[in-house]
A and B are shown apart, each in its own frame.
Chain A
Amino acid sequence: MSKTANITLKINGEDITATVPVRLNLVDFLRHDVGLTGSHVGCEHGVCGACTVEVNGDAVRGCLMLAVQADGTEVTTVEGLSDSGRSAALIRSFTARNALQCGFCTPGMLASALSYIDAGGAADKAAIREHISGNYCRCTGYQSIVEAICDVITENATTEEAGA
């Protein structure tokens, strides 16, 4: 019933080869086949953002992409962001602001936040709110998340100034 395909991709820096059902979506592959359960599944139709991961540097919905489409790509999940230290500043600021409660939206929220910060986004609360409007959080009311992202941008700017 379910056809399979072989894929090879780099996940958090590791080469992974797998045989997957062609109908398997990327986030289910990451969670259940690779064991990277940090990426979460909230709606499975691209609205909630809980499954957001990086594919070739872009923030992508893991539920709207099939695992076979990720063949040959480089994927980074929340575990990879943490291990490499790329999310370290956000982890500090999210903790300080209590910008998470249940933590279920958090991996996707971090991926979206990083895509904003890495693209040179400003410490502009309205712009940050707009940017994370594809990530649903039922717990916080968003304000602490926006402030935590702002803090990292401000902190980066201060560090750069000091460095220059």
Chain B
Amino acid sequence: MTGPAMIFDKPNSYIGQPTPRADAARLLAGRGRFVDDLQLPRMVHAAFYRSPYAHAKINGIDVTEARAAPGVVAVYTGAELSKHVTPYVGVLSHLAGLRSAPQHPLAVDAARWQGEPLVMVIAQTRAQAEDACELIDPDLEELPAVVDSETALDAETPVLHSEFDSNLAWERTVDVGDIDSAFAAPGVTVVERQFRFGRHTGVTLESRGTVCDYDPSEEQLTVYYSGQAPHMMQVIYSKHLGIAEENVRVISNDVGGSFGIKIHTYGDEIAAGVAAKLLNRPVKFIADRLESFMTDIHARDHVVTAKMGISEQGTIVGIDFDDLTGIGPFSMYPRTSAIECNQVLNLTGAPYAMENYRAKGRVVFQNKTLMCQYRAVGHPIAMAIADCLLEDCARSIGMDPVDVRRKNLMADDSYPRNSTSGMKLDDLSHQKALEKLTEIMDYKGLRDDQEAKRKAGVYRGIGFVSMVEVTNPSPMFYGIGGAPIASQDGATVRLDAGGALHISSSITEQGQGTNAILGQIAAGVFGVDIERVKVSTGDTKTVPYGGGTWASRGAGIGGEAMLQAAHALKEQVLEVAGVLLQTPVEALDIKNGCVVDAGTDNERMPLADLARTVYYRGNELPSDLKPELIATRHYRVSDFPFVFTNGAMAAHVEVDIETGFVKVLHFWAVEDCGRVINPMLVDEQVRGGVVQGIGGALYEECLYSPEGQLMNATMADYIVPMAAEMPEITVAHIETPTKTSVLGAKGAGEAGTGGAPAAIMNAVNDALSPLGKSIWQMPMTPERVLQVINRN
């Protein structure tokens, strides 16, 4: 790409600066605008009667008493609601063979997971709606539940959807080279392990929720949405409620954490929209914590049998694995529940040069909460398979884990190239990142400490991961498969009469600092003080069309659109300035809100004077000059399916072999996300991501009974990382800008979550290595650690 490269060298550029977020002050003063903060006139509240069983036939539901309860405005069963909303199916055509059954917002014929909504009650208050739910008398016939993914495909297991011949939703195989011959070659050591990755979930502190408001006079549905993809939701409400797309407005104000949880189609939120349309008044639904655990998408849930072969010299000859993942009773709409397995097949071993690769993935239905895309989709599994096997191999041949990576990581000057699985890679820096990591962590010092501690009976371990992260996805991610999900984003920038910039963008803010980096880019590229940039995001009525913020795409795609728009506006403004000042355009620039002489920065005209001339006194302009003080640009990634980033991370842990407790002593992350727009925000994304990864590695798991009952659906029972257990995290950067954009920014949001689990597992196994023991199951709870220590 060509473009205004000088923008990064300008003295008043904000790109690359740790500028604090403008919206922090508002949130710190308690002036956030979250969905549940909204009170609208005539607003009523929804509560749901949910299936108490993992699997049950609905023979009938008597809601007579509920309808008569105090404060109740309306009650809808699944059968009643289905007259007003069409079902949806979570498949995409590019995931060949993926199948799922039609899913209704409220179950109609059968309940297929515990917590599936069956009846919606609308009442004057949420408490009254919940009271009425207690009066619902359902005739449910409990059916055998398919709980265990490992037996879901067995002949004797009931088939969940009668239209299918089995519980298989999707399968895919990748086969490159000749893995069997490679493993059989002389001198090759092959290690085989079975990994188990438990189910966990997002636990966004703000639970899912919506306020849906319908105005029949304009046939207008307004959805206040806590989520990441307003335009996607606009299409979904339009399509399934039968409202013209332009009459659906989706507004996402402050979002209290999302991490991929709030980017899917949830029956209760859709039902709230239907109720608003039927009642012609606002309906609020806010999930309580129990509802969050039972109905927010779950993540991971993989059983992987995997092998890696390594030569005597430490060269990886190949990886061979079989991944089985349980996704609940439906593939989630519209992004599908096969993407995670697909990512595992695409990404495993992607940092390493190797010849042979065979991967098989199977995705199966079961009677548990739906599984779908959560932060770092597939990455923790893919990175653990390759990097935990790699350290296992290195131990087998007596090689240091850093040395074995140096030998096998792709060379930094070897791009562009493909991964063995066929992913197009460019602008990566695995070797540099690893070197920087060993420096900042004082690797040798840690090994010396480890040896000394071991003599004292203290088991410390050091574990690494070298990783890639999928960011800035192109249309090849969703759009190609038929999903109503934009891969491009738009940005508009307008100069107002006072010389300030108003910018709007289709990417969204969930706390990452989206609004902050948009402001930095616009201010820096255009040439005004950042305090004079006002940012709008999250409203389909006012922002350009685009995808939103997910898959680590906001900064890289939305940021580039912002850069191009700001650059375009600058050219437009300079054209006007050239005429007004009778100066060649090339001799002018904009700095600190003024048109200046390029080179000398001699102030020629404040932007406010220019704008007021254009807006108020157009008579002073030549008649053939028709200034546009607004510019819009759109951007999509077109040369690559994804723009990969890379990182190297390390964990230092201590395992108490008496109790099985793992203490993370310190964590280091070296991240190459291309050009860093705001190092403070990127560091915090990495830290937060690492802690979510630690959660999955050590604590978090959705536990089910054999009957499919979720057993730990409270925050007292489901363990999330809290401050006392978390380590200090040191973050450093390599900057290899992507050539796919002028901005050069890749994504950074998911690397920590994708990489940390493998590093933690490697560190725990390094700590246990003197005992000859190892663990291959996440979360690595004290109980599980003790079990492997005590196993003969």
Residue of B nearest to A32 (CB): B39
Q: Are A107 and B204 in touch, CB under 8 angstroms? A: no
Residues of chain A with a CB closer than 8 A to B680's CB? 98
A74: which B residues are within 8 A, CB to CB?
none
Does A41 sit within 8 A of B, measured CB to CB? yes
Complex Cα spacing A134 to B510, Å: 23
From known contacts A48-B205, A142-B726, infer whether A101 and B513 are also in contact, taking CB-CB under 8 Å: yes
CA of A96 to CA of B720, assembled, Å: 26
CB of A1 within 8 A of CB of B70, answer yes
Which of B141-149, B314-322, B443-451, B683-691 has 4 or more CB atoms under 8 Å from chain A? B683-691
Q: Of the candidates B205, B681, B729, which one forms a contact with A105 in the assembled complex, judged by CB atoms under 8 Å apart?
A: B205
In the complex, B658 has a CB within 8 A of chain A: no
- The answer, yes or no, to whether A52 is at the interface (CB within 8 Å) is no
CA distance A36 to B85 in the complex (A): 36
Q: Which residues of chain A are within 8 angstroms of B640 by Cβ–Cβ distance?
A: none
The verdict on A73 contacting chain B, using a C-beta distance below 8 Å, is: no
Q: Is B34 positioned at the interface, with any CB of A under 8 Å from its CB?
A: yes
Stretch at the interface among B25-33, B646-654, B739-747: B25-33
Chain A residues lying within 8 Å of B715, measured Cβ to Cβ, are: 42-43, 45, 47-48, 136
Candidates B131, B254, B729; contact of A103 at CB < 8 Å:
B254
Q: B residues 227-268 with Cβ under 8 Å of A?
A: 254-259
Which of A41, A100, A141, A142 is the one whose CB lies under 8 Å from B28?
A: A100
Tell which of B202, B206, B723 has the most Cβ of chain A within 10 Å. Answer: B723
Q: Which of B39, B289, B510, B687 contacts A140 (CB 8 A)?
A: B687
Contact B127 A102, beta carbon cutoff 8 Å: no
Which residue, B206, B254, B722, has most C-beta atoms of chain A within 10 A? Answer: B722
Cβ of B511 within 8 Å of any chain A Cβ, yes or no, is: yes
For window 31-55 of A, CB contacts with B under 8 Å fall at 31-32, 35-45, 47-48, 50
Closest CB of chain B to A139's CB: distance in Å?
5
Q: Do A102 and B510 touch (CB < 8 A)? A: yes
In Å, the complex CA distance between A35 and B609 comes to: 43
- Which residues 137-157 of A have a CB within 8 angstroms of B? 137-146
Indicate whether A60 reaches chain B with its CB closer than 8 angstroms: no
Interface assignment of A91: CB less than 8 Å from any CB of chain B: yes
- Bound state CA distance, A38 and B24, in angstroms? 14
Query: What interface size band does chain A fall in?
Result: 35 or more
Main secondary structure on chain B at its contact with chain A?
loop
Total of A-B residue pairs, C-beta within 8 Å: 179
Task: Number of B interface residues at 8 Å Cβ cutoff, please give it.
Answer: 56
**Per-position 1/0 for B465-476, Cβ under 8 A of A:** 000000000000
Q: A40 and B206 in contact (CB under 8 A), knowing A104-B32, A139-B511, A143-B728?
A: yes
Tell me whether A98 and B70 are in contact in the complex, defined as CB-CB below 8 angstroms, given that A140-B684, A141-B688, A141-B729 are known contacts: no
Interface assignment of A8: CB less than 8 Å from any CB of chain B: no
Contact check: which of B27, B28, B30, B513 meets A77 at CB < 8 Å?
A: B30
**Are A103 and B20 in contact, with the CB atoms below 8 A?**
no
B22 to chain A minimum Cβ distance, whole angstroms, is 9
B610 sits at the interface (CB 8 A): no
B512 to chain A minimum Cβ distance, whole angstroms, is 7
B692 at the interface (CB under 8 A from A): yes
A24 closest partner in B (C-beta): B127
| 24 pairs from A and B in contact (CB 8 Å cutoff) | A2-B127, A21-B127, A23-B127, A37-B30, A37-B34, A38-B32, A42-B206, A42-B289, A95-B20, A98-B20, A98-B684, A101-B684, A102-B205, A102-B257, A102-B511, A104-B256, A125-B728, A136-B205, A137-B723, A139-B511, A140-B691, A141-B688, A142-B722, A143-B726
Please give the residue numbers on chain B whose beta carbons come within 8 Å of chain A beta carbons, in ascending order: 20-21, 24-25, 27-32, 34, 36-37, 39, 70, 127, 131, 202-207, 254-259, 288-289, 510-513, 680-681, 684, 687-692, 714-716, 720-724, 726, 728-729, 752
Q: A2-B127, A100-B27, A102-B511 are in contact. List 8 more A-B contacts (CB 8 A).
A: A82-B28, A91-B28, A101-B510, A102-B254, A104-B205, A106-B28, A132-B723, A143-B726
- 7 pairs of A and B residues whose beta carbons are closest in the complex: A38-B30, A103-B27, A104-B256, A101-B511, A102-B511, A78-B30, A141-B691
